[in-house]
Amino acid sequence: MAIILRLDRVMADRKMSLNELSERVGISTVNLSNLKTGKVKAVRFSTLDAICEVLECQPGDILEYQKE
């Protein structure tokens, strides 16, 4: 896939655990873990918005395009 998820890197930079982010964003730890490991096919804008708000980042900090 050409879209790479960098959520783990942003979380590490912010020193935030998966459980803490899950609680603050309001989505399950399992769904957030799947997002973090790139096992998802889609992300809702509302979820992306909440993650960016909590992590104080831009969508481009989490999503990266890489030509195949």
Give the CATH number for residue 24. Answer: 1.10.260.40
Q: What pTM, to 2 d.p., does this model score?
A: 0.89
Question: Would you say 11 and 21 are in contact if contact means Cβ atoms under 8 Å apart?
Answer: yes
Residues 35-63 have pLDDT tens digits of 998 899 899 999 999 999 999 999 999 99
Number of domains observed in the structure of the chain: 1
What DSSP string runs through the chain?
A: --EEE-HHHHHHHHT--HHHHHHHHTS-HHHHHHHHTT--S---HHHHHHHHHHHT--HHHHEEE---
Output the average pLDDT for the chain. 93
Question: Would you say 53 and 20 are in contact if contact means Cβ atoms under 8 Å apart?
Answer: no
pLDDT level of residue 31 (50, 70, 90 thresholds): very high
Q: Which domain holds residue 48?
A: 3-65
- In this model, does residue 27 exceed pLDDT 80? yes
The pLDDT, as a whole number, for residue 1 is 61
